[in-house]
């Protein structure tokens, strides 16, 4: 009975992907890169100019106020969702299907997207609200509703995010965990799925504060372990790294293998796969990280925008690059039978022996599980935006647990395709809103930059900006923050 229900869900997803994936991504690619370039230019290359400030804001943002997440906890929770399967399985998939050049386009997507990530998280801070429990909530659904002034568009985005992060992305995470543990320890998919459901239920029924504490402890540790191993491997083959980087750049402009769809004549498979997997990994401009960015207590909206911008850099330029070089230094990346996490595991086995297979299975278990709870945190915030009712929220949690199990027992192809399609819908809605609200981003950035030039800690006082007082936001939040100066 239950297996038949899962089969019906799979058939529905296949129909949805076949009819909507191509047209959606044709529009998303142009919009994603266009909006990223727009904010890069209009903010004066904020991702380069204020990059040192992003490190400082993250480092000195470790103290929390009351029940709110600290800026660092918000950064770690956002990184929990970013750093995971996309960095290990997603990179391998991009290389297997698009070649080494796909990595270059992941870099491009990240570097351009850092400005979009800055804009969306700064807006999320400005338009955040305080709920009855005294905690902050916010994100694209809130700045679309209050800033753009469209409740309908805000609900559409919230639904898109719920399907993307609450359902599709969590299915991808559990699917990758199953593949990794099957390769390493021959674990049964059904048992792994049930175990993930139990562990996930413990975290998500514990509330957003527990998610923040868990991420702040686990994410830095697991990312550090993975990066240390990657650096050891790179050190063992340091003489070959320049040639690998040259291979990535040279292959990026190889148009012998073209993508399909309307842009098939101008986009190579490397470009298409690099952009898709880059967006899945770093989520820049997608509208996900702002949901956590809004929950922290900072003195200026731009502070959290810079912190989340740094998360994009860490995710793609550091972690994804390490995975890519590990794979390309091995002799397995050209094998047609190796894709996804299996390719990364084989690469580690090539470098450090059988230990690499087991190590990656364990580290991916931590990566993917932290991503599941980070994804859930995004989805819960948007579910509460639509209907903040305990019964509705608990029913939503049960659906999340179902898709965790669904991803564990289904093929990777359909799970990844479902994630790509709903991700494109979500990104399009958010990017349109960012363009509409871009003048507000410029006001916030000018205010922050003016204060840093004066040598004082930036503190946002909304009373100094009469234009923003006309918006539907709570000015008392920023008056309160002003008092902490």
DSSP per-residue string spanning 393-416: HHHHHHHHHHHHHHHHHS-HHHHH
Number of folded domains in the chain? 1
Backbone angles phi, psi at 45, to 5 degrees: 55, 60
**In degrees rounded to 5, what are phi and psi of residue 151?**
-65, -35
Range from 270-274, 324-328, 374-378 that averages highest in pLDDT: 324-328
Residue 100 has pLDDT above 80, yes or no: yes
Q: Are 170 and 404 in contact, with CB atoms under 8 Å apart? A: yes
Position 398 confidence tier, pLDDT thresholds 50, 70, 90: very high
d(CA 347, CA 83): 19
pLDDT of res. 84 = 67
3-state secondary structure of 325: helix
Q: How far is CA 280 from the centre of its chain?
A: 6
Mean residue pLDDT of the chain comes to: 85
Q: How confident is the model at residue 213 (pLDDT cuts 50, 70, 90)?
A: low
- Provide the pLDDT for residue 64: 53
Report the C-alpha gap between 232 and 212 in whole angstroms. Answer: 30
Q: Considering the domain boundaries, does residue 298 fall inside one?
A: yes
Residue 2 lies in a domain: no
pLDDT for the residue 394: 93
Q: What six digits make up the tokens of 129?
A: 């609200």
Is 280 inside a domain boundary?
Answer: yes
Q: Give the pTM.
A: 0.86
What integer pLDDT is reported at residue 80 of this predicted model?
A: 61
Residue 366 — very low, low, confident or very high, per pLDDT cuts 50/70/90?
confident
What is the CATH number for 86?
1.20.1740
Beta-carbon contacts of residue 282 (< 8 Å; ≥ 6 apart): 82, 86, 109, 110, 113, 117, 311, 312, 315, 316, 320
Mean pLDDT of 159-174: 94
Question: Measured between alpha carbons, how far is 310 from 71 in angstroms, rounded to an integer?
Answer: 12
Sign of CA dihedral 218, 220, 225, 229: positive
**Does residue 4 sit within a domain?**
no
Percent of the chain clearing pLDDT 90 (strictly above): 42
Q: How confident is the model at residue 337 (pLDDT cuts 50, 70, 90)?
A: low
Does some domain include residue 1?
no
CB 372 within 8 A of CB 404: yes
Confidence of residue 205 (pLDDT cuts 50, 70, 90): confident
Q: Are 270 and 101 in contact (CB under 8 A)?
A: yes
The mean per-residue pLDDT over the stretch 100-106 comes to 91
User: pLDDT per residue over 10-41, tens digit each?
Assistant: 889 999 998 888 888 888 888 998 999 999 99
Examine the pLDDT at 472 and tell me if it is beyond 70.
Answer: yes
pLDDT, position 485: 40
Q: Domain for residue 385, yes or no?
A: yes
Residue 202 pLDDT = 84
Tell me the helix, strand and coil percentages in the chain, rounded to 5: 80, 0, 20
Does 463 map to a domain? yes
In a domain, 47, yes or no: yes
Residue 130 has pLDDT above 90, yes or no: no
Residue 335's domain comprises: 9-477
Average pLDDT over residues 428-432: 95
How many angstroms separate the most distant Cα atoms in the chain? 67
Residue 275 pLDDT exceeds 90: no
- The four Cα atoms 444, 445, 448, 452 give a dihedral, to 10 degrees, of -170
Beta-bridged to residue 268, according to DSSP, are: 258
- Alpha carbons 367 and 449: distance in angstroms, whole number: 35
Q: Which helix (H) or strand (E) holds 137?
A: strand 136-137
Instruction: Give the Cα-Cα-Cα angle 399, 425, 35 (nearest 5 degrees).
Output: 135
Question: pLDDT at position 482, please?
Answer: 44
Q: Residue 65 pLDDT more than 60? A: no
pLDDT of residue 293: 86
Instruction: Indicate the range of 10-14, 215-219, 276-280, 319-323 predicted with least confidence.
Output: 215-219
Q: What average pLDDT does range 423-446 have in this prediction?
A: 96
Q: How far is residue 412's CA from residue 255's CA, in Å, rounded to a whole number? A: 27
Residue 156 pLDDT > 90, yes or no?
yes
Half-sphere exposure of 165 (CA within 13 A, CB side): 33
Give the pLDDT confidence score for residue 262 in this predicted structure.
46
């Amino acid at each position: 009975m239950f297996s038949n229900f899962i089969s019906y869900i799979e058939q529905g997803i296949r129909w949805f992907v076949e009819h909507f994936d191509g047209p959606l991504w044709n529009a998303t690619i142009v919009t994603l890169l266009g909006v990223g370039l727009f904010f890069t230019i209009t903010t004066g290359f904020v991702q380069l100019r204020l990059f040192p400030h992003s490190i400082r804001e993250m480092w000195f943002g470790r103290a929390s106020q009351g029940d709110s997440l600290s800026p660092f906890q918000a950064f770690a929770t956002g990184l929990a969702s970013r750093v995971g399967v996309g960095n290990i399985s997603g990179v391998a998939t991009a290389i297997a299907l698009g070649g080494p050049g796909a990595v270059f386009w992941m870099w491009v997507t990240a570097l351009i997207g850092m400005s979009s990530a800055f804009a969306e998280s700064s807006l999320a801070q400005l338009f955040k609200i305080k709920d009855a429990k005294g905690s902050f909530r916010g994100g694209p659904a809130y700045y679309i509703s209050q800033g753009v002034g469209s409740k309908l568009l805000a609900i559409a985005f919230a639904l898109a995010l719920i399907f993307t992060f609450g359902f599709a992305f969590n299915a991808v995470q559990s699917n990758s965990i199953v593949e990794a543990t099957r390769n390493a320890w021959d674990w049964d998919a059904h048992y792994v799925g049930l175990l993930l459901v139990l562990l996930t239920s413990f975290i998500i029924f514990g509330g957003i504060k527990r998610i923040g504490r868990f991420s702040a402890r686990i994410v830095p540790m697991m990312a550090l372990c993975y990066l240390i191993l990657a650096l050891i491997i790179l050190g063992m083959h340091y003489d070959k790294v320049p040639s690998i980087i040259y291979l990535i750049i040279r292959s990026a402009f190889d148009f012998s293998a073209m993508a399909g769809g309307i842009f098939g004549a101008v986009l190579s498979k490397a470009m298409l796969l690099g952009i898709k997997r880059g967006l899945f990994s770093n989520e820049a401009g997608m509208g996900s990280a702002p949901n956590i960015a809004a929950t922290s207590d900072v003195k200026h909206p731009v502070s959290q925008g810079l912190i989340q911008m740094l998360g994009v850099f860490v995710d793609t330029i550091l972690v994804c690059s390490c995975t890519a070089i590990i794979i390309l230094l091995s002799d397995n990346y050209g094998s047609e039978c190796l894709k996804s996490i299996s390719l990364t595991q084989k690469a580690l086995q090539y470098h450090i022996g059988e230990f690499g297979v087991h190590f990656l299975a364990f580290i991916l278990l931590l990566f993917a599980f932290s991503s599941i709870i980070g994804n859930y945190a995004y989805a819960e915030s948007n579910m509460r935006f639509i209907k903040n009712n305990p019964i509705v929220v608990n029913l939503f949690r049960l659906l999340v647990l179902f898709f965790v199990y669904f991803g564990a027992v289904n093929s990777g192809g359909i799970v990844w395709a479902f994630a790509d399609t709903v991700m494109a819908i979500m990104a399009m809605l958010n990017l349109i809103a960012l363009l509409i609200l871009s003048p507000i981003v410029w006001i916030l950035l000018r205010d922050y930059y003016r204060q840093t030039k004066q040598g004082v800690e930036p503190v946002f006082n909304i009373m100094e900006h009469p234009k923003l007082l006309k918006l539907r936001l709570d000015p008392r939040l920023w008056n309160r923050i002003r008092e902490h100066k």
